[in-house]
Amino acid sequence: MQPLPRGRHGLSREFIAEHQRERLLAAIARSLDANGYECTTVAAIAAAAGVSKSDFYRHFESKDACFFAAYDEAVERLRAEMVNACEGRPGWAEGVCAGLAAALSGLAANPSQANLLLVEGLRAGPGVYGRFQAAVESFVPRLRDGAPQGAPAGGPSEATDEAVVGGIASLLARRVLAGETRHLDRFFPEVAEFALAPYLGVAEARRIISAR
Amino acid sequence: MSPRGKGATKEQARKAPATSMRPALPREFIALHKQRRIMDALAELTAEQGYEATKISDIVKRAGVARKTLYDNFEGKEEVFLAAFDAARDEVLRRVEEGSAGADEEWQDRIEGGLAAFLGFVAEQPTLARMCMIEALSATPATTKRYEDTLETFVELTKRTLPRDEGLPDTIAETLVGGVAWIVYQQIRRGETERVEDLLPELTEFMVAPYLGARLPE
């Protein structure tokens, strides 16, 4: 995001403030990705966003406050992308596939957001991993609701729903750490199979995935 | 040696005429025992108040050793954490390998045996489990790296135990181990480690099901 023009520009105060805030949120994500949490200082975030330190403090009271805001927005953005992709799909399985595909390509297209969501979410301490956990868990009902009942072996248990979502998050985090963020969408077939197979059986899961 | 350290030593010497028994214990035994106490103290304090808030002074107080003893044995707090982590990891790995050994058993039973050993350790050592599976993630970059390397070790161990299956993706073991770690992580965070062993049937099914499914005639 580019800094706004300086001097007289006729832009409203609210517009400028919102724009600065967005730039700060993008800047903290980039800085975390490049330098890690410890080295990401308020000064570095402000400089990367092209605002002054005092502007930073007009928006956030601390680095952590900025971090939490960036995290929450990243979760919401990903969720919105997934929900939009699911909408209008003919069935549960197609919806899950569309949501997963959207999530993977969204993360692949934006590595600093992927790092923020999947890596920093677990690393940065209590304030954030509560958010990470809530974000991951919020996807569990999306998977569970509408899933066919009485699937193979009487249907998966509640722990399976959670383990499927947690397992996918863990796999993606490891791929991000391995520097494969740009190629996350390549993992679509296996991630989708992993998500669908407990409910539909492997054969049916593969049929649906290859029909896409 | 700090004045406080000296004082503590003298006081202990005064209080304990049993020092006459000490020469019977080899020096290395005492040193190991003190290291163990320091590592245990750090694990407890970390579980109670987090890594960040745990100070060297808290650790030596809890362990009942002089500050100098800690620094004679460890470079600092991070090294105590890593030593405690490594000891716990080695113990878990030993138990899981033992639990999943049984060469004449079916692979499903070996997976279940390994999982049972792992869950058993978490139930028995909630403090260490918390330190290794929660605090390690956020304490320092070195502890995070340890956690990730350990996850990798478990992925490799799982790959060796699960059947080779051409039909399943290469990442399946990673996803399964990640899923189990996630569930156990949640259980620890909720403070419900005493019930963690109840998850054995569900987690076994979770790990085994993809392989059973893949083997069904399509």
Domains of chain B (ranges; CATH) run: 20-77 (1.10.10.60), 82-213 (1.10.357.10)
- pLDDT score, position A7: 65
| ipTM score | 0.79
- What's the burial of A176, exposed, middle or buried (CB within 10 Å: 0-12/13-18/19+)? buried
Distance from CA of A51 to the nearest CA of B (A): 29
Half-sphere exposure of A196 (CA within 13 A, CB side): 28
Asked: is A63-211 a CATH 1.10.357 domain? The reply is yes
In angstroms, the CA B180 to CA B75 distance is 34
User: Do A9-61 and A63-211 fold alike per CATH?
Assistant: no
Mean pLDDT of chain B: 85
DSSP H/E element including B37: helix B27-49
Tally of helices (H runs) and strands (E runs) in chain B:
11, 0
CATH T-level assignment (fold) for domain A9-61: Arc Repressor Mutant, subunit A (1.10.10)
Q: B124-134: per-residue pLDDT in tens?
A: 999 999 999 98
Closest by Cβ to A190, choosing from B171, B205, B213: B171
Taking residue B208's Cβ as centre, other Cβ atoms within 10 Å add up to: 18
Report the residue of chain A nearest B217, measured CA to CA: A203
- pLDDT score, position A122: 74
Residues B196-208 have a mean pLDDT of 91
Residues B206-214 have a mean pLDDT of 77
Q: Compute the radius of gyration of chain A from its Cα atoms.
A: 20
- Residues of chain A whose beta carbon is less than 8 angstroms from a beta carbon of chain B are 36, 38, 122-126, 129, 133, 136, 152-153, 156-160, 162-171, 173-174, 177, 187, 189-191, 193-194, 197-198, 201-203, 206
Report the residue of chain A nearest B51, measured CA to CA: A125
Packing angle of the helix pair B107-124, B172-189 (nearest 10 deg): 30
User: Which is higher by pLDDT, A171 or A4?
Assistant: A171
Q: Residue A67 in contact with residue A28, Cβ under 8 Å?
A: yes
- pLDDT band for position A126 (cuts 50, 70, 90): low
Give me the percent of chain A exceeding a pLDDT of 70.
89
Report the residue of chain A nearest B209, measured CA to CA: A198
Taking phi over 0 as left and psi of -120 to 50 as alpha, with beta for the rest, A153 belongs to: left
Write down the domain spans for chain A. Answer: 9-61, 63-211
pTM of the prediction? 0.81
- pLDDT score, position A172: 92
- pLDDT score, position B4: 43
What tokens appear for A150 in the block?
A: 């009485």
Give me the percent of chain B exceeding a pLDDT of 90.
57
Q: Decide if pLDDT at A150 tops 60.
A: no
Q: A53-85: per-residue pLDDT in tens?
A: 999 999 999 999 999 999 999 999 998 998 899
- Quick check: A167 and B178 CB within 8 A? yes
Q: B131-178: per-residue pLDDT in tens?
A: 999 899 888 889 989 999 999 999 999 988 888 776 777 888 999 999
Q: Decide if pLDDT at B122 tops 80.
A: yes
Q: Residue B52 in contact with residue B25, Cβ under 8 Å?
A: no
- pLDDT score, position B43: 96
Q: Residue B132 in contact with residue B89, Cβ under 8 Å?
A: yes
